[in-house]
Each structure stands twice: as structure tokens, then as C-alpha cells.
Amino acid sequence: MKRRPASVIFATGARYILPLMLLFAFFILLRGHNEPGGGFIGGLVVACGFALFALAYSVADARQILRVDPIQLIGWGLLLALLSGLLSLLLGLPFMTGLWPDFAIPAIGKVGTPTIFDVAVFLVVIGVVLNVVFSLAES
């Protein structure tokens, strides 16, 4: 960490809350197809965790922890969303038709194209919100 945080309690809390928020966001993402949650809400939880960390330390420290430029997350998310829709088109079905495999992944369940699209939304939301938050915090 480059600069001294304003409050030791706030900085310590942010450091411990960030991994918990990331874990909770992953849980929300995975349960989102069958129950409330999904990529949008999970992405907001991740972005809030990194925004909290940026407030406690600095934007540079939050970017270092994130390890990926938020613009790249937007690009990868959009590409993944397009690929999840094109998969059904390649099989002669209408664009964005949900496809589900016959097998299930243990502890996760069946991962079909709607789940892949949810992950794409997750990445786009993280990228957009963090890009806005980091830009505002740096100016």
C-alpha cells in the first residue's frame, strides 16, 4: 500500500470485507438463474467492494488488487455475451436460444448459455461501474 489510510479501522475493515464481498458476489452470480440474483447484482457487489477498497486506500491500490483494466472487463464481457448468443445460431436455432448440456458440474449444476450470458453481464457491470468510480475518484 502506497499511502497511509485515513482511518486504520476503515482500512482494516475494507481489507477484510473485500474478499467476503467477492465470495458473496460469486454466490449471487451462480444462484441467479434459478433464484433472485445474477450477473447484474453480483457485478454491483464486486464493484462496491473495490470502490470501498479505493476509498480506504487509493485508486492505484484498488487497480493493483483488481489486476485488470475495467475497460478490458467490459470488452471481455461483451465478447462473451456475443459468443453465448452465437452458439445457438451455429446450431440452426434462433439467436440467444438457451442451450443446456446433459451433464451437471458438481456443486454448481448445469452450465448453459444463459449462465454464460450471466457471467458476461457480471463482467460488463464490474467494468462499467469501476471505470466510473475510478475516474471520479482520480479527478
The answer to whether position 69 is within a domain reads yes
Q: Which residues pair with 105 in a beta bridge?
A: 109
The model's confidence at residue 5, banded by pLDDT at 50, 70 and 90, is low
pLDDT digit string, tens, across residues 69-97: 999 999 999 999 999 999 999 988 998 88
Range of 16's domain? 8-138
Would you say residue 2 lies in a domain? no
Q: What is the pLDDT of residues 31-75, one digit of tens each?
A: 886 677 889 999 999 999 999 999 999 999 999 999 999 999 999
How many folded domains does the chain comprise?
1
Please report whether residue 121 resides in a domain. yes
Q: Is residue 86 part of a domain?
A: yes
The tally of CA atoms less than 13 A away on the side-chain side of residue 33 is 15
For residue 69, give every residue at least 6 positions away whose Cβ sits within 8 Å of its Cβ, in sequence order, or none. 63
In a domain, 3, yes or no: no
The answer to whether position 1 is within a domain reads: no
**CA quadruple 10, 40, 70, 129: dihedral, nearest 10:** -60
Q: Name which of 16, 17, 32, 15 is nearest 122 in CA terms.
A: 32
Query: Does some domain include residue 28?
Result: yes
pLDDT of residue 3: 65
Task: Please state the pTM of the whole predicted model.
Answer: 0.89
* Residue 21, in any domain of the structure: yes
